[in-house]
Chain A
Amino acid sequence: MERNQLRRQVALTRQSLFDQGFLDDQFIQLEDLQDDANPNFVEEVVTLYYRDSARLINNIEKALSVYNFLSFPSLLDFLVQQHFYIGAKKVKAECTLFREYCRAGNGEGCTRTFQQIKKEYATLKGKLEAYFQVLFHLMLPLSSLISQ
């Protein structure tokens, strides 16, 4: 019975990520690549996403502190596209906006949007972590659930 509750919780948590616009269909494409032989694929990709993002945000922050906008096309492209496979909808939108401001040489727009990126990313990360946490509990063997 507890298991069913957990299942429901997982489903609701997952659905809310879509309903609230944090994730888009691309995340489902990622889920489709997971199977019994690769049961943790999504979480593995998301973990890499955190790593990529942390590094990227750090690099951009440094670059912005020197110049007030970025002109490195590879970095900009990387920033936008790395959210694709995760389906990180809101973050992606902010990154796209950021790229436009950079290309226009709009320093103030860049700084403002970059703060938004960081905020959206932090929110998404929190949501994803919460989701995988619940999922993890669902995947635990029944015996450990009963003991809770």
Chain B
Amino acid sequence: MGSNSVVSNRRMPEKMNCFDLSPNSNSESEAEEVHVLAVDDSLVDRKVIERLLKISSCKVTAVDSGWRALKLLGLLDDEEEDKSSFSSSDGFEGLKVDLIITDYWMPGMTGYELLKKIKESSSFREIPVVIMSSENVMARIDRCLEEGAEEFIVKPVKLSDVTRLRDYYMATREIRSAESGINVNKRKLQESFDVSTASSSPSSSSASPPSLFSSSAPCSPSSLDSPTRRPKMTSFDHILI
């Protein structure tokens, strides 16, 4: 009852850093972490999200507004509208990120407005965007999903939410890399294709993430069924299919 409640001596359990990803992924995951752009105007929330992401071995860039996020991505440069010269693989003037996680209610530009701007951009619309909010409002959730948000998480965000996201988007990124012609994960993609019904050539770009995930490919979609996403579950499945 006494000494073990002294907080600052507690260590993070080692298991937090062990991934349960498919066998081939470890070499790739060590080479490239998932880079997450976190957007939240609250000092507290930003610090916590940053910590959660770092514990999950993600690289984090945390900003306090949608405008700053767009600026970092390179969407707010000289041209208001995105030009094709800005591609996320160049990372020309913009930050290269794998996932954007944003608060819903922020002064100036809401998370919803940020989502819209990202999805309107030809270069950045492929980046998955996750919305966080303290309230479980169906209309709000639906609106975000309709606009292209991958997921809607109710605050307070838990470590399990973040590790689940990281696993999922690590796999998604590998698929997108394969689609853009990088052969690193071709072998894994081919395995996935064997599982799915694809009859076209293995490296074809018809490999859209939805079909791979719905056919229970390596990245364990069952782990996506978590309580915090319950209100959204049907909508999420709808997005996948």
Contact = CB atoms under 8 A, between A and B. Distances in A.
A81 B3 contact: no
Given A33-B48, A82-B42, A84-B134, A40 B5 contact: no
SS class, residues of chain A in contact with chain B: helix
A135 interface: yes
Interface string A1-17: 00010011011001100
A7 to B, nearest CB: 6
Contact of A35 (B12, B47, B155): B12
A86 to B, nearest CB: 7
Interface residues of B, number: 33
A103 B220 CA distance: 42
B238 interface: no
Contacts of A108: none
B108 to A, nearest CB: 9
A88 B205 CA distance: 50
A26 interface: yes
Nearest to B52: A33
A48 B5 CA distance: 23
A11 B3 contact: yes
A63 to B, nearest CB: 13
Contacts of B10: 31-32, 34-35
A75 B2 CA distance: 41
A10 B8 CA distance: 11
SS class, residues of chain B in contact with chain A: loop
A14 B5 contact: yes
Contact of A14 (B7, B42, B104, B133): B7
A80 interface: yes
A42 B5 CA distance: 14
Contacts of B41: 78
Nearest to B54: A38
Contacts of A81: 42, 45, 133-134, 155-156
Contacts, number: 95
A74 B40 CA distance: 12
Contact of A42 (B7, B11, B12, B159): B7
B105 A74 contact: yes
Interface in B60-88: none
B1 interface: yes
Contacts of A32: 10, 12, 159
A49 B134 CA distance: 16
B7 A34 contact: yes
A48 B3 contact: no
A48 B47 contact: yes
Nearest to B49: A85
B106 interface: yes
B105 A85 contact: no
Contact of A80 (B12, B106, B134): B134
Contacts of B219: none
Interface of B: 1-3, 5-12, 41-45, 47-48, 51-52, 55, 104-107, 110, 133-135, 155-156, 158-159
Given A11-B6, A31-B10, A75-B107, 4 more contacts: A11-B5, A26-B156, A77-B133, A81-B42
Nearest 6 interchain pairs by C-beta:
A81-B134, A48-B43, A77-B105, A84-B156, A74-B105, A35-B12
